[in-house]
A and B are shown apart, each in its own frame.
Chain A
Amino acid sequence: MIIHHPLLGPRDAAEFVYKGDVTLIDRPDWQAEDAAEAFHDYLYLRDNPAGEHRELWFHEQGDRSWLVVTRNTLTHEITKVELARDVARERGRSR
């Protein structure tokens, strides 16, 4: 499998490590009233779609950047690769 890194171009998937569902970016507020329940959901509840899935990959044997990869779980086709930093900033995070 080849992942098209947004900065570095096509790279072998062996350089990357899968790090989980992209919802991990949205860490709940630990000071909120319902923090315990929110963290339970954050840690344990995942959608398991047959089809398009957004997921985090870490370029461990490369430039150490985190990527958001949109991959079809039925065909393994990768339709989009973004820097996780850009995705997090789009969602209003400072970094």
Chain B
Amino acid sequence: MPDLTLTPTPPLDGYAQDFAGTRLAEASELAIVAVATPAGGETALEAAVKAAYGTGTPAPGASILSKDGKARLVWSGPDQMFLLFTHDAPDAEAGVAAALGQAGYCTDQTGVWAALEISGPGVRGALERLCPLDLHPDAFAEGAAARTVMEHMGAFVIRTGSDAFLLLSASSSAKSFLHAVELSVRNTA
């Protein structure tokens, strides 16, 4: 067998660009692990999450940062959440599974999502043409997280700052998603 060296490549090749009022950049070292609650195991998972991350599990439509601020826990559905954290190695799931013990079912989702950070004063103007959610600060508080559809592509929208959002969409259609968002940013700049 020949010696092969595989080099991981983020789905958008580390894209980053500044526009008037808006910055658009791929979050390329973001690990994503889904944690599902075993039937009847809500209390045990809550305790394990508290011990490992110093916080409770997120409420529907919300996300919360871990106590050390390094991981974001995102509500993704009934009895399920996504853990997002910066991690530059292909073993994110093992780390979360070890931290939670047997309290949750962990699935590595890192490779299937493309993550795009969008920030700046023009961010809502660019997103409102694509996103059916109400992203007004009064309706979508900091930390709010929702899964929706943008330009026919499924996407997570997570508000990470006052004018900053993290968007996740399927890595298989990452470039189409980037095209849609970038075009909207250009059109509204």
* Residue in contact with A65 in the complex, picked from B61, B78, B146, CB distance below 8 Å: B78
Q: Which of B19-75 contact A (CB under 8 A)?
A: 39, 60-61, 75
In the bound complex, do residue A61 and residue B77 qualify as a contact, i.e. CB atoms below 8 Å apart? no
Assess the B39–A63 pair: CB atoms within 8 A: no
Instruction: Report the interface size for chain A: residues with CB under 8 A from the other chain.
Output: 15
| A83 CA to B148 CA, complexed, in Å | 18
Give the CA-CA distance A61 to B148 in the complex, in Å.
5
- Closest chain B CB from A85 CB (angstroms): 7
Q: Would B149 and A63 count as touching, CB distance under 8 A?
A: no
| Complexed CA–CA distance, A15 and B132 (Å) | 9
Contact of B77 among A11, A15, A63, A95 (CB under 8 A): A63
Q: CA separation between A94 and B66, bound complex, in Å?
A: 33
Does B148 lie within 8 Å of A15, measured CB to CB? yes
Residues on B with C-beta less than 8 A from A95 are: 39
Tell me, yes or no, whether A62 is within 8 Å of chain B by CB. yes
Which range holds the interface residue count of chain B?
Answer: 10 to 19
A8 to B60, CA, bound (A): 7
Taking CB atoms, residues of chain B closer than 8 Å to A45 are: none
Whether B147 is near chain A, meaning CB under 8 Å from some CB there, is yes
Residue-by-residue, is B137-158 near A (CB-CB < 8 Å gives 1, otherwise 0)? 0000000001111000010000
Does B76 belong to the interface (CB within 8 Å)? yes
Q: Does A1 contact B (CB under 8 A)?
A: no
A62 vs B39: C-alpha distance when bound (angstroms): 21
| Complex CA distance for A67 and B39, rounded to whole angstroms | 19
Once the chains bind, are A12 and B132 in contact (CB under 8 Å)?
A: yes
In angstroms, Cα B148 to Cα A33, docked, is: 45
Instruction: Kindly report which residue of chain B lies nearest to residue A12, judged by CB atoms.
Output: B132
**Which of A8, A64, A83 makes the CB contact (< 8 A) with B146?**
A8
Closest-CB distance, B113 to chain A (whole angstroms)? 15
With beta carbons under 8 angstroms apart, the residue of A15, A64, A65 that contacts B149 is A15
Residues in A lying within 8 Å of B, measured CB to CB: 7-9, 11-12, 14-15, 61-65, 83, 85, 95
Which 3 A-B pairs rank lowest in CB-CB distance, beginning with the nearest? A61-B149, A63-B77, A7-B60
Instruction: List 4 additional contacts besides A8-B146, A63-B147, A95-B39; criterion CB under 8 Å.
Output: A9-B61, A14-B149, A62-B147, A83-B78
